[in-house]
């Protein structure tokens, strides 16, 4: 078997991160019902690097993915989020390095998010969205197989850097912001019906060669409002610090909720501060509140 050097990746995180989700807040008049999701009509983007030549997501057996990760060996661990661990793996069948996310089997939201992720990423293709190579739904195992993003996430390059790690230069920061914005524009303006991403944050912006950014994690994504509707009503989900306040308060989700999260990411890129940083003094813990204090009122937008 061809084997990839799983270890030695700069963004290895062995710590378990608890996802600070807003997923249990029930907004007033929330009326979310299970919906049949109709196919999304997606206009294909042509990519300079030819990455849009997508193939339908493949199915894998659990055995294939266990083999790919040497039985989910600890030195293949790339990181861990609220939904499970992500491993670097090698697919013999296609001679390809991949990232394999194994969903936590005890997770409450896991199965629904797994289905949404597979559905969304099978339909949506853009140079600034991560490619889903395939998935595994063997018994109660749920795994997702993505293209491997060699530079990890934007979070790995912005926050808690080890002393020997170089800071991102300004041009690279702007390139990442512009690429993430293009991915979001595609979801909002090119996908039909539009897709609300709901989970825009630094850890979900993955970086390829030359810091090419791609949005990842579509498990919380929602089809946006159609026709005369201005919003979709839904349970409030997302990540504390990135979630638009009007959505958090009402459960009314709009495309602008993503734009708010993008603004938070942009502030993180510009200031190098975290969206929420509990190690700072109380007036500085929330980045948006902290920045607002420093922006003259004339520059503050009302709507
Ligand atoms: N396709 C990929 N290629 C390379 N590394 C990846 C890939 N997908 C995820 N990772 C790594 O695994 C880490 C964990 O990802 P995951 O999406 O599970 O959680 P998260 O986004 O960090 O947090 P949360 O669960 O709160 O969304 C990422 O921060 C990144 O470093
Ligand atoms: Mg993620």
pLDDT digits (tens, 9 = 90+) for 16-75: 444 444 433 233 333 333 333 333 443 344 344 444 455 578 999 999 999 999 999 999
Counting from 1 in the atom list of ligand 1, the atom nearest the Cα of 85 is: 18
Q: Could you give the residue ranges of the DSSP H alpha helices within 35-141?
A: 62-68, 110-123
Q: What local confidence, expressed as pLDDT, does residue 80 receive?
A: 93
Of 30-39, 216-225, 251-260, the range with the lowest mean pLDDT is: 30-39
Tell me how far the alpha carbon of residue 79 lies from the centroid of ligand 1, in angstroms.
6
Report the mean per-residue pLDDT for the chain.
Answer: 83
> Which one of 23, 75, 104, 199 is the catalytic residue?
199
pLDDT for 42: 39
The upper half-sphere exposure of residue 291, i.e. CA atoms within 13 Å in the direction of its Cβ, equals 19
Which fold would CATH assign to domain 39-147? Phosphorylase Kinase; domain 1 (3.30.200)
| pLDDT tens, residue by residue, 224-238 | 998 888 899 888 888
Tokens (6 digits) for 77: 């661990």
- Over residues 104-154, the pLDDT tens digits come to 876 655 788 999 999 999 999 999 999 999 999 999 899 999 999 999 999
How many other CB atoms sit within 10 Å of the CB of residue 211? 17
Burial (CB < 10 A; 0-12, 13-18, 19+), residue 293, is exposed
The two tokens of residue 6 are 């799983």
Q: Report which bound ligand comes closest to the CA of 147.
A: 1
Ligand lying closest to the C-alpha of residue 99: 1
Radius of gyration of the chain from its Cα atoms, rounded to whole angstroms: 19
Looking from the CA of residue 84, the nearest atom of ligand 1 is: 18
Residue 18, SS3 per DSSP: coil
Domain range list for the chain? 39-147, 154-293
Angle between helices 255-271 and 170-185 (to 10 degrees): 170
Beta-carbon neighbours within 5 Å of ion ligand 2:
204, 217
Count of CA atoms in the C-beta half-sphere (13 A) of 148:
22
Answer whether 149 contacts ligand 1 (Cβ < 6 A).
Answer: yes
Residue 293 pLDDT exceeds 70:
yes
From the CB of 102, is ligand 1 less than 6 Å away?
Answer: no
CA 126 – ligand 2 centroid, Å: 18
Q: Whose CA is nearest to atom 25 of ligand 1?
A: 81
| Burial category of 121 from C-beta neighbours within 10 Å (exposed 0-12, middle 13-18, buried 19 and up) | buried
Instruction: State how far the Cα of 182 lies from the Cα of 212, in Å rounded to an integer.
Output: 12
Say which residues have a Cβ less than 8 Å from residue 145's Cβ, sequence separation at least 6: 58, 60, 65, 89, 91, 98, 99, 100, 132, 133, 134, 135, 136
- The answer to whether residue 169 is catalytic is no
Q: What is the distance between the alpha carbons of residues 98 and 8, in angstroms, rounded to a whole number?
A: 15
- Residue 228 has a pLDDT of 85
CA distance 106 to 119: 22
Could you tell me the distance, in angstroms and rounded to a whole number, from the CA of residue 285 to the centre of ligand 2?
22
Domain 154-293 class in CATH: mainly alpha
Which residues carry a binding-site annotation?
A: 101
């Amino acid at each position: 078997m061809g084997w990839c050097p799983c270890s030695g990746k700069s963004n290895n995180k062995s710590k378990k991160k608890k996802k600070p989700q807003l997923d249990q807040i029930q907004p007033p008049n929330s009326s979310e019902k299970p919906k049949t999701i109709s196919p999304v009509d997606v206009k294909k983007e042509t990519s300079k690097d030819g990455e849009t030549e997508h193939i339908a997501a493949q199915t894998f057996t659990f055995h294939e993915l266990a083999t790919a990760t040497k039985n989910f060996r600890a030195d293949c661990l790339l990181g861990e989020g609220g939904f499970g661990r992500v491993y670097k793996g090698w697919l013999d069948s296609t001679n390809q390095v991949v990232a394999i996310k194994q969903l936590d089997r005890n997770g409450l939201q896991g199965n629904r998010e797994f289905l949404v992720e597979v559905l969304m990423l099978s339909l949506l293709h853009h140079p600034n969205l991560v490619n889903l190579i395939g998935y595994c739904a063997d018994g109660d195992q749920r795994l997702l197989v993505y293209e491997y993003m060699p530079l990890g996430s934007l979070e790995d390059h912005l926050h808690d850097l080890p002393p020997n790690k170089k800071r991102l230069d300004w041009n690279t920061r702007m390139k990442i912001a512009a690429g993430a914005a293009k991915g979001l524009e595609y979801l909002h303006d090119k996908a039909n019906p539009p897709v609300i991403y709901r989970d825009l944050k630094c850890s979900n912006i993955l970086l390829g060669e030359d810091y090419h950014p791609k949005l990842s994690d579509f498990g919380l994504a929602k089809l946006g409002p159609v026709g005369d509707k201005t919003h979709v009503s839904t349970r409030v989900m997302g990540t504390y610090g990135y979630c638009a306040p009007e959505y958090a308060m009402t459960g009314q989700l709009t495309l602008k909720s993503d734009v708010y999260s993008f603004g938070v990411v942009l502030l993180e890129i510009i200031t190098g501060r975290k969206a929420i940083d509990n190690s700072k003094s109380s007036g500085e813990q929330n980045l948006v509140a902290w920045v607002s204090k420093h922006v003259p009122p004339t520059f503050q937008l009302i709507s």
